[in-house]
Amino acid sequence: MNPLTQIDPEVSAILADEIERETSKLQMIASENFSSPAVLEAQGSVFTNKYAEGYPQARYYQRCGPSDTVEQLAINRAQTLYQAQHANVQPHSGSTANLAAYLALLQPGEKILGMDLAAGGHLTHGAHANFSGKLFQAHAYTVHPETHRIDYDALRKTARKVKPRLIIAGASAYPRNFDFSAFRSICDEVGAYLLVDMAHFAGLVAGGAHPNPVDAADVVTSTTHKTLRGPRGGFILCKAEHARKINSAVFPGVQGGPLMHVVAAKAVCFHEAMQPSFRDYARQIVSNAQALAAALLERKFDLVTGGTDNHLILVDLRNQNMTGAEAAARLEESGIVANKNGIPNDPLGPRVTSGLRLGVPAVTTQGMREPEMAWIAERIARALRGDGGAGELEKIRHEVRELCERFTGGGAS
Ligand SMILES: *Cc1c(COP(=O)(O)O)cnc(C)c1O
């Protein structure tokens, strides 16, 4: 018997439930993935025992030799992977990375300009409920009312009017690539810093399937656990001139001791992302998302912006007589895990919504390809339109389980 089963059978049983859930259903939440057994091993290692406040060769605790070595390795790998002048691999999460980046570049009360939450932006880009909306004067740009893509002319006008100190490019539910040089030119015109938050598409950048924002941006923030497929955590890349400010904003600015077990797992994840097979993975993510989009369009679903350039799709359900909440619940019944999501100018509130966000990073890790995307689109159509009620959803759930049993390339097993 393993130690967890012996010492805490209650948690052990819950863990078994989670393994069952992850392996028997389609994981289509766009921000989720399956990290590798190597990442999980590093993250579950004895580095969890070590305090290493400070940075390599400049710690506040004794006996940090292995911590120094592993953190320096993670830093070097991140810099090489993204061709960045400086990397900080300590942020505990994407949100913490953003908090540190803002505090490094701005004074509290200064103006920031980020994508509207309702248009696909993230809470940390200036939402009222978040530190970003409380500590800073937050302004928002949105997407074009018809194309639902970023309207760069409108963004330029907003930036001229607001005169923000920082503009944020990045989102959680935007299915198109960002034009980083357009953002750079707008920032230069109004004297703003450019922060690119690549939390969602960091893996696509690493694998060469999305433009790299590092040259255009002053600072790039990210998570490691979304398309990048590493441990849960964050990191920051920046130009050399901002390195000191970024480091002291992370520690001692907003964090205490780094999570050295997670830093070790980040080193592993950057190593994995440097392999040729990761380039194939990133390309396959985009091919799969586009195949799924095409199969949904064929079945008369409306997609926000009409398709996708990246790993996610936003379905506009207004022509389906169904809310996002109903659709997500029906899909869950059918073994397809996705989330309701607001669409631009959504007439319904955030608890209901008119949209459904679908992501393919996890199913792509499992080895699914274009034929499976068409298969999934067919099940989504049956689940959302079928009038067979629970019987039909149960039937789909069994089919989904059989599919998942054929694709065991994911992490949990
Ligand atoms: C997920 C995400 C984050 C936050 O990451 P957490 O690790 O959940 O704090 C930040 N920015 C964007 C754009 C995201 O999608």
Q: Tell me, in angstroms, the distance from the centre of ligand 1 to residue 25's CA.
A: 24
Using a 6 Å cutoff on CB, does residue 222 contact ligand 1? Answer: no
Q: What percent of the chain has pLDDT over 70?
A: 98
Ordered domains of the chain (ranges, CATH) = 24-31+276-410 (3.90.1150.10), 40-273 (3.40.640.10)
- Rounded mean pLDDT, 2-14: 95
48 assigned to active site: no
CA distances from 99 to 77, 142, 159, 197 (A): 23, 22, 21, 12
Query: What is the tens place of the pLDDT at every residue in 387-398?
Result: 666 799 999 999
- 226 carries an active-site annotation: yes
Could you read off the pLDDT of 219-269 as tens digits, one per residue? 999 999 999 999 999 999 999 999 999 999 999 999 999 999 999 999 999
Split at pLDDT 50, 70, 90, the class of 310 is very high
CA dist 72 and 75 (Å) reads 5
Residue 277 identity? S
pTM: 0.96
276: CB partners within 8 A, 6+ apart:
none
What is the C-alpha to C-alpha distance for residues 40 and 222, in angstroms, rounded to an integer? 19
Question: Which own/partner pairs from 15-20 qualify as long-range (CB within 8 Å, at least 24 positions apart)?
Answer: 18/412, 19/412, 19/413
Contact (CB, 8 A) for 409 and 365:
yes
The catalytically annotated residue of 158, 221, 223, 308 is 223
- Which atom of ligand 1 is found nearest the CA of 125? 11
Distances (CA, A) of 327 to 122, 183, 316, 355, 391: 22, 35, 11, 9, 16
What length does the chain have? 413
Query: Catalytic: 161?
Result: no
Check pocket membership of 197 for ligand 1, CB cut-off 6 A: yes
Q: Is the CB of 122 under 6 A from ligand 1?
A: yes
- Report the C-alpha gap between 200 and 371 in whole angstroms: 25
193 an active-site residue?
no
Q: Is 294 exposed, middle or buried (0-12, 13-18, 19+ CB in 10 A)?
A: middle
Told to judge if 51 belongs to the known catalytic residues of this protein, a careful annotator would answer: yes
Task: Say how far apart CA 330 and CA 90 lie, in whole Å.
Answer: 39
In the predicted model, what is the mean pLDDT of the chain?
95
Question: Is residue 289 within 8 Å of residue 308, measured between CB atoms?
Answer: yes
Task: Output the CA torsion 44→49→53→56 (10° steps).
Answer: -70
Residue type, 59: R
Ligand 1 atom 3, closest CA: 94
Q: What are the start-end ranges of the E strands in 224-265?
A: 234-238
From residue 276, give the alpha-carbon distance in Å to each of 206, 229, 279, 310, 411. 11, 15, 5, 19, 19
pLDDT band, very low/low/confident/very high, at 410 (cuts 50, 70, 90): low
Q: Is pLDDT at 413 greater than 60 in this prediction?
A: no
What digits encode the pLDDT tens for the residues 159-195? 999 999 999 999 999 999 999 999 999 999 999 999 9
Indicate the pLDDT class of residue 58, thresholds 50, 70 and 90. confident
